[in-house]
Amino acid sequence: MSGLLEISAICSGYKQSQVLHELSLKVKPKEIVAIMGRNGMGKTTLFKTLIGDIKNTQGEIKLDGKNLEPLDPYQRVANGIAYVPQGRMIFSTMTVLENIQTGLPASARGRVPQDLYDLFPVLWDMRQRKGGNLSGGQQQQLAIARALATDPKVLLLDEPTEGIQPSIIKDIAKTLKEIRDQRDLTIVVSEQVLSFTLAMADRFLVLDKGRFAYEDIRSNVDETTISQYLSV
């Protein structure tokens, strides 16, 4: 299992409105990369382009050397990309167990791997509860577990701390590092909460008006500069 994600000069947007301007990024296997930026700077557009919900108008997207552009979203998932969208998008009328099962391959025959429950013990305790009855933090854990059920090489998380209590945010950061180590997973997370990404990311980029305006590794990161980009 590798997980080398390469983005080369991609442009993307909505109809006549270009949002991303020749973005390039190489994410190494097992690396956790944080893409920081205010609302409206292009973070969600980037993730939707990577998963195939939006087609890029220029550039290349490769996973372990394979060109993903011709592939539909479900084919990209089959090739190793998983996506946890902003707002989590769990199925509120289905149980926790049923939600996770939607991510499982047919070969699993509906059996959820025990290591998913080990990562998120609360989901085992609540496996028969409806998704809509979970707290925001529990729903986020469920959304991550459902994405991991596809056994991905790369996990994309779009603003995972949105609407979640600070105490739970710390737990999610710790769990994501555990997931990376246990599953040799590459993780790309978009965020506005700097304290969350500082607790887990190896490298930081700032997306500003569809272009990368800042990049550095964790040990050299300039919190003041990033914070300035995040302030309105």
- Residue 140 belongs to a domain with what CATH number? 3.40.50.300
According to the model, what pLDDT value does residue 111 have? 87
Residues 104 and 161: their CA atoms lie apart, in Å, by 25
CA-based R_g, the chain, Å: 17
Q: Give pLDDT tens digits for 5-48.
A: 999 999 999 988 889 999 999 999 999 999 999 888 899 999 99
Residue with tokens 């700097």: 194
What are the two backbone dihedrals, phi and then psi, of residue 65, each rounded to the nearest 5 degrees? 85, -10
**Which among 45, 66, 55 has a CA at the least distance from the CA of 2?**
66
The CA distances from residue 153 to 27, 77, 87, 109, 149, in Å, are 12, 9, 22, 21, 11
According to the model, what pLDDT value does residue 26 have? 96
**How many helices and strands in the chain, by DSSP H and E?**
9, 10
Q: Is the pLDDT reported for residue 232 higher than 70? A: no
The CA distances from residue 194 to 76, 124, 176, 190, 206, in Å, are 29, 30, 15, 10, 11
CA angle 44/195/92 to nearest 5° reads 50
Q: Give pLDDT tens digits for 157-194.
A: 999 998 888 888 888 899 999 999 999 999 999 999 99
Q: Is the pLDDT reported for residue 88 higher than 90? A: no
Mean pLDDT of the 101-111 span: 84
Domain of 67 in residue numbering reads as 5-230
According to the model, what pLDDT value does residue 87 have? 79
Mean pLDDT of the 131-137 span: 91
166: DSSP letter: H
The count of structural domains within the chain is: 1
Q: Output the DSSP codes for 48-92.
A: HHHHTSS--SEEEEEETTEE-TTS-HHHHHHTTEEEE-TT----T
